[in-house]
Amino acid sequence: MNELILILAQTGTRETPLAAAISEGLSLGAIYALLAMGFVIIFKATQVLNFAHGALAGLGAFLVASFATLINFPGRYLPESVPQWLSWTLSALCALIAAALVGMILERVFIRPMIGEELFAVAIVTLGIDIALRNVTNDFIGTDPRPLGDPWGLNILDLGWITFAHTEVAQILVSIVLVSAVALFFRTKTGIAMRATAFDQEAARAQGINVGRIFSISWAIGAVMAAVAGIFVSVYPRRAAGVDPSTAFFAFKALPAIILGGLDSVGGAVIGGFAIGIAEAFVGEFVRFDFLGSGFAGIVPYLLMLIVLIVRPYGLFGTEEIRRV
């Protein structure tokens, strides 16, 4: 055993720092983009900045862990011959449906009564939801992290000079698919209704748009986005042990992304997400001065955000508010 480990230690594949920074930046960026998109969809349709997004991400990941490993649903009703990846995907889909339901319920119970109130007041309501939801989720997570039992495992995709974990490939692919889906969605009838609602709730209503339904849909989509991001935060290589209470805090890192892109721009959110992810990874990999201490890369997104806001107070792609008395 001794020699084996020593030999293993010498044959481990190594990326160049540049390749490492690129793969790390893309994978972080994909997660930030997913989170940022969730924020933006809810904001675009309902004008609510959803501080409960992190709690929804944590809850989503926990739901996947419960469906996939704790109760094994629907896997336990499937024949043995069904491959693990398929049954896991089915479990994850069930969990996403559950997450969407939670999102809709939260909107119906807590956000709907606030229609017409100040933006700030509604944002603080979501802060209240965040506190309550996070604590309930943490109680369910319980004492130890909960592994998600995902099918990607520790597999690595080796492209020669750069390597990606299968989870990272999945992250990037899923975020591309979801971004395109959302972009297309905004061209559908419901999507256009959503944009109209965001523009002016009363006028949209007068046009025969069911504003309540739009609210429900946007929260359902937002919750699913959060849950998907939560899954990728809670698997190898980020949190190989599984979902734990820290998952919920990840979402705050996506706030600079939406500021960078502008609160109401889906494309901006994606670009912002990848931009801060890559910036963080590159700073983490290359900027290592002792006087910076530890954790400097972690605040790079916030510094970037401050700089952008000094230049453009509405973000890079945000719509400037027309100020009227």
Partner 1 sequence: MRVKSRWLALLLVLGLVLAACGGDSGTEDDDAGTTTTTAASGGETTTTAGETTTTAGGEEPMEIATDFGVDLEAGVIRVGMLSDLTGPFGPLVSAILAGAQAYWDDVNANGGIEGLEVELVVRDTVYVVDTHIQYYNEIKDDVVAIGHSTGSPHTVALNADLQADGMLAIPLTWYSGWSDSDINANLVSHGTPYCIEAMNTIGYITSEVLDGATTIAIASLPGDYGQDSAAGAKLAAEALGLEVVYDGEGAIIPSDESSLTTVASEIVEAQPDLAWVATTPGTFSSIFGQALEGYSGMWSGPSPAWSPAYVAPGSAISDAITERFIGGTYTAGWTSEGAEAFHGLFTDAGLPVSDYYFEGVVEAKILEAALRQAHANGDMTRQGVLDAAKSLDNVSFDGIAPDESYTGADNDRVQRQGYIYRPDPEGLAAGTSGGRMDLEAFYTSDIAANYEFTGACYDLAG
Partner 2 sequence: MRGRPLLHTSYEADQSILNTTTKKVVMALFLGFLVLLPFTGGAESSGERLFDFSIPFVGFLSSNDYLQLLATVCIFAIGALGLNLLTGVAGQVSLGHSFFMGVGAYTAVWLGAPEGPLLGLGLPIWIWLPAAGLVPAAIGLLVGPTAVRVRGLYLAIVTLGLVFIGEYVFRNWRSLTGGSQAGRSFQELDVRLWKEETPLIEISQDGAWASTNGKGFLMLLVLLIVFTVIAKNLQRSRAGRAFQAIRDRDVAAEVMGVDEFRYKLLAFGISSFYAGVAGALLTAFLGRTIPERWDLILAVQFIAIILIGGAGTVSGTLMGSAFVIMLPRVVQNGTEWLRAAIEEGGFIATIADPIVVTDPTDGGIINTLPGVGPGLSVLQANQVLYGLLIIGFLIFEPLGLYGIWLRIRNYWKGWPFTY
Q: Which residues bind partner 1 (CB under 8 A)?
A: 1-2, 5-6, 8-15, 17, 20, 24, 28, 65, 68-69, 135, 138, 142-150, 152-154, 156, 163, 165, 235-242, 244, 246, 249-250, 253, 280-281, 283-285, 288, 294-295, 297-298, 300
d(CA 205, CA 211): 6
Q: Tell which one of 20, 78, 174, 309 touches partner 2 (CB under 8 A).
A: 309
Q: Which of 274, 295, 284, 13 is nearest to 164 (CA)?
A: 13
Q: At its nearest, how many Å lie between partner 2 and the CB of residue 288? A: 14
Between 12 and 116, CB nearer to partner 2: 116
Residue 76 structure tokens = 């336990």
Question: Does 316 interact with partner 2 (rule: CB under 8 A)?
Answer: no
> 111 Cβ partners below 8 Å, 6+ apart?
46, 48, 122, 125, 126, 215, 219
d(CA 268, CA 2): 52
Q: At its nearest, how many Å lie between partner 2 and the CB of residue 154? A: 30
Selection from partner 1, partner 2, none that 54 binds (CB < 5 to 8 A by kind) is none
Selection from partner 2, partner 1, none that 163 binds (CB < 5 to 8 A by kind) is partner 1
Contact present, 49 and 126 (Cβ < 8 Å): yes
A 10 A CB-CB count for 163 gives 16
d(CA 147, CA 138): 14
Between 149 and 315, CB nearer to partner 1: 149
Binding to partner 2 (CB under 8 A) within 78-137 occurs at: 110, 113-114, 117, 119-121, 123-125, 127-133, 135-136
d(CA 279, CA 118): 34
Largest CA distance in the chain: 77
> 98 Cβ partners below 8 Å, 6+ apart?
63, 67
Site string for partner 2, 250-279 (x = CB under 8 A): --x--xx-xx---x----------------
- Which listed range, 1-9, 87-95, 156-164, 314-322, lies at the site for partner 2 (CB under 8 A)? 314-322
Question: Does 315 interact with partner 2 (rule: CB under 8 A)?
Answer: yes
Contact present, 242 and 65 (Cβ < 8 Å): yes
d(CA 213, CA 192): 13
Residue 102 structure tokens = 């939670």
Q: At its nearest, how many Å lie between partner 2 and the CB of residue 148? A: 22
Q: What residue ranges bind partner 2 (CB under 8 A)?
A: 49, 110, 113-114, 117, 119-121, 123-125, 127-133, 135-136, 138-139, 142-143, 252, 255-256, 258-259, 263, 292-296, 298-299, 302-303, 305-306, 309-310, 313-315, 321, 323-325
